[in-house]
Structure 1
């Protein structure tokens, strides 16, 4: 019987999750700022789309902050894998 070795999972490496999440958070903030800068040149329809997207980005920011806190707590509590 042939073994299915190509489906091995990678070990869970969370050692840099806080940093990755912080980078994603910063990128999202920059995207909001860039969108706000471009809104002055947008049509009414584009403005509506930009505002809706920025609202979703704001929601993502809250989720990033919560996840960063969770990951930082895990790191402090000895999760090293």
Structure 2
């Protein structure tokens, strides 16, 4: 069984889409935090947003690397 060749041509677009979705989820959670009186829910959503922010930082670094590799022809 042959493994699939590494096709990275759409990585920048895929990562950018993930970044956009994560930012949207952060905004939605922030809205829910503002609207709820449930302190447990607020804490849970805040913790999720913290993890999302960390993931965003990683994705931004990854997209920089991928964009550079794309410019260099994935050598």
Taking structure 1 as the reference length, the TM-score comes to: 0.86
Structure 1: which 5+ runs fail to align? none
Q: How many residues are paired up?
A: 74
> Structure 1 residue 40: deviation in Å?
2.4
Q: Which gives a bigger RCO, structure 1 or 2 (Cα 8 Å, sep 6+)? A: 1
Query: Which residue of 2 is the match for residue 78 of structure 1?
Result: 73
Q: Hey, which bits of structure 1, 4+ residues long, moved more than 3 A?
A: none
Q: CA RMSD in A?
A: 1.2
1:13-24 equivalences in 2 (<5 Å): 13-24=7-18
Match of 1:27 in 2: 21
Which of the two has higher C-alpha Rg?
1
If the length of structure 2 is used for normalisation, what is the TM-score? 0.92
